[in-house]
């Protein structure tokens, strides 16, 4: 066999090696949008051109939580020390709405100063890879996980603990982590109790799981709304969107709506306003 005969064989070997070890992906351009969604399988950040959000001024009944999170985020955006934040509490009380509203407010004050990257709860194990991508970026970034919690069979909480502040590399200076959850300690109560009853050293086992929440330096609690605050939210939406209804009629209809839902919350108020606007033929743009 001559050297010329070897060339096709060598080309096939080279092509096979390239397929086995593809060239590294080019760095992603994170300047095309202010918000992205992390797609773990493709290791790709998909830009979100229009974030589904409520304006900051329309969030009622959570003034203290809003001021605290906005201040923490401003500190972070300005390059000052800031904490990872856990927003916990009742469903529909404005936790995720607040995170998105704070992001918008920061960028209104200083255009393009803050990225928002959403990671889904099931993709938490790929968080280290996401941090690698964001570590080299110049822009400050909030990684946001909505409805974060762990069940008995989950082990991902250990990797999250390491990423938040316990890993050898630590969290990148340009990244902060915000999460919402219905559970203060991110674990179901029966999960923690089971650890206590079956562990050789119950206190240490329980402490390991509860300590995940301790990695969040900022805890913000959200609770069910009193009726007066619920009415205030509905009235604020109605005025903002110029809906044609008196306050007395609005309150009566809003009260009836909340009774059919069995709850009073910001989410229930927004659903009521959507129904009211639809009946009046008005868009909520």
Query: CA angle, 121 as apex, 118 and 127 as ends, to 5°?
Result: 65
- Check residue 87 and give its pLDDT: 95
pLDDT beyond 70 at 46? yes
CA-CA-CA-CA torsion sign (161, 64, 89, 124): negative
165 Cβ contact partners less than 8 Å away, ≥ 6 residues apart: 84, 171, 215
Alpha helices by DSSP H, the chain: 3-20, 63-77, 95-109, 127-135, 156-161, 189-198, 202-214, 227-240, 247-261, 266-280
Among the residue ranges 3-12, 87-96, 137-146, the one predicted with the least confidence is: 3-12
pLDDT beyond 70 at 105? yes
- Check residue 201 and give its pLDDT: 47
pLDDT beyond 80 at 166? no
Among the residue ranges 70-74, 88-92, 186-190, the one predicted with the least confidence is: 186-190
**CB–CB of 275/59 below 8 Å?**
no
Average pLDDT (172-189) is: 82
Average pLDDT (37-61) is: 92
Query: pLDDT above 70 covers what percent of the chain?
Result: 78
Average pLDDT of the chain? 84
54 Cβ contact partners less than 8 Å away, ≥ 6 residues apart: 97, 100, 101, 270
Predicted confidence band of residue 172 (pLDDT cuts 50, 70, 90): confident
Average pLDDT (100-114) is: 94
pLDDT beyond 70 at 23? no
Predicted confidence band of residue 34 (pLDDT cuts 50, 70, 90): very high
Closest by Cα among 174, 123, 114 to 146: 123
Average pLDDT (19-34) is: 71
Among the residue ranges 11-25, 85-99, 210-224, the one predicted with the least confidence is: 11-25
In whole angstroms, what is the distance from residue 196 CA to residue 214 CA?
19
In whole angstroms, what is the distance from residue 160 CA to residue 54 CA?
29
Average pLDDT (18-45) is: 80
- Selected residue with higher pLDDT from 43 and 21: 43
Predicted confidence band of residue 59 (pLDDT cuts 50, 70, 90): very high
Summarised one tens digit per residue, pLDDT across range 230-260 is 999 999 999 999 999 999 999 999 999 999 9
Predicted confidence band of residue 200 (pLDDT cuts 50, 70, 90): very low
Average pLDDT (79-94) is: 92
**CB–CB of 171/177 below 8 Å?**
yes
Average pLDDT (276-283) is: 94
pLDDT beyond 60 at 2? no
What backbone phi and psi angles, to 5 degrees, belong to 128? -60, -40
């Amino acid at each position: 066999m001559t050297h010329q005969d070897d060339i096709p064989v060598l080309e096939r070997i080279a092509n096979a090696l390239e397929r086995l070890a593809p060239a590294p992906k080019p760095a992603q351009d994170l300047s095309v949008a202010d918000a992205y969604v992390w797609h773990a399988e493709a290791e790709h950040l998909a830009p979100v051109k229009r974030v589904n959000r409520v304006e900051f001024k329309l969030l009622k009944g959570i003034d203290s939580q809003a001021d605290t999170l906005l201040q923490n985020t401003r500190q972070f955006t300005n390059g000052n020390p800031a904490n990872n934040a856990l927003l916990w509490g009742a469903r529909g009380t404005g936790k995720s709405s607040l995170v998105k509203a704070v992001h918008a407010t920061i960028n209104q004050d200083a255009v393009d100063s803050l990225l928002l990257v959403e990671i889904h709860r099931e993709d938490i194990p790929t968080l280290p890879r996401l941090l690698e991508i964001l570590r080299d970026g110049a822009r400050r970034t909030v990684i946001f996980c909505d409805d974060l919690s762990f069940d008995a069979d989950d082990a991902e909480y250990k990797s999250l603990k390491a990423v938040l502040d316990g890993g050898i590399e630590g969290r990148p200076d340009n990244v902060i982590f915000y999460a919402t959850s219905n559970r203060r300690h991110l674990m179901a109560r029966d999960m923690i109790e089971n650890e206590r009853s079956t562990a050789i050293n119950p206190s240490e086992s329980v402490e390991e799981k509860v300590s995940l929440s301790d990695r969040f330096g900022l805890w913000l609690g959200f609770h069910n709304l009193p009726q007066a605050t619920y009415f205030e939210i509905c009235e604020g939406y109605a005025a903002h969107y110029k809906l044609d209804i008196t306050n007395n009629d609005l309150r009566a209809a809003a009260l009836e709506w909340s009774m059919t839902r069995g709850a009073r919350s910001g989410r229930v108020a927004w659903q009521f306003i959507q129904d009211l606007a639809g009946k009046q033929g008005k868009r909520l743009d």
